[in-house]
Amino acid sequence: MPNVLFQTFILSVFLTYFCLPVPLKATTLTSCDGPIEEAKAEKCDPLMREFTNRSIGLAFLDLKINDTRLLSMRELCKDLKTCMNSTCYYGESRKKEVRIACDGIAIRNTYFMECLNKIKTGTVDLSKYTCMDSLDKPVQMYTTKKWCTKIMFREVCGEKSLNNFDRHCRIMVRIFGLVDKAGFG
């Protein structure tokens, strides 16, 4: 199942999306583009930079649940969202991207992700999960083949990996959407 490897890679890659410069000028000027809102928005820049910097640092690490680095990222996400909410400078789509990225961080602190990491290592015999064999797009693991993923997770990692399973699948799908949009997909 090489696709499982790929989707974990994608999860890391999506983070680099936030290295791209934030578009500074809106196409149509509104009061939200004025100097007051711009000054408020600028205060979020260091948080955004720190988020990007730390995300990249964590992207390829296999972190355990409650790793302090994940917990502190969660706090950083909260601060970043609060900061972005303090001004109308940031459009809904930019805020949404940050929400998805932060969900991507939060999901790393779950048994769902722990299970995905376990499967990724290649130490588990997955040959009996023939329902996964026809996968040509990793996103299917969380959409049309979600039922198969569920069986696999239950048997490989136990019931706890199925906590909020549907919600976690939706988050994975959104992360793939973000990756596609960023041109990495």
Ligand X SMILES: *[C@@H]1O[C@H](CO)[C@@H](O)[C@H](O)[C@H]1NC(C)=O
Output the smallest distance, CB 96 to ligand X, in A: 10
Q: What share of the chain is helix, strand, coil (3-state, %, to 5)?
A: 70, 0, 30
Output the smallest distance, CB 182 to ligand X, in A: 17
Nearer to ligand X, 39 or 65 (CB): 65
Instruction: Print burial letters for 28-54: b (CB count within 10 Å at least 16), e (below 16).
Output: eeeebbeeebeebbeebeebbeebbeb
Nearer to ligand X, 75 or 136 (CB): 75
Output the smallest distance, CB 57 to ligand X, in A: 6
Nearer to ligand X, 111 or 129 (CB): 111
Residues with Cβ < 8 Å from 124, sequence gap 6 or more? 118, 156
Nearer to ligand X, 56 or 182 (CB): 56
- Could you list the residues that contact ligand X (CB under 6 A)? 53, 56-57, 65-66, 78, 81-82, 85
Output the smallest distance, CB 83 to ligand X, in A: 9
Per DSSP, the three-state class of 163 is: coil
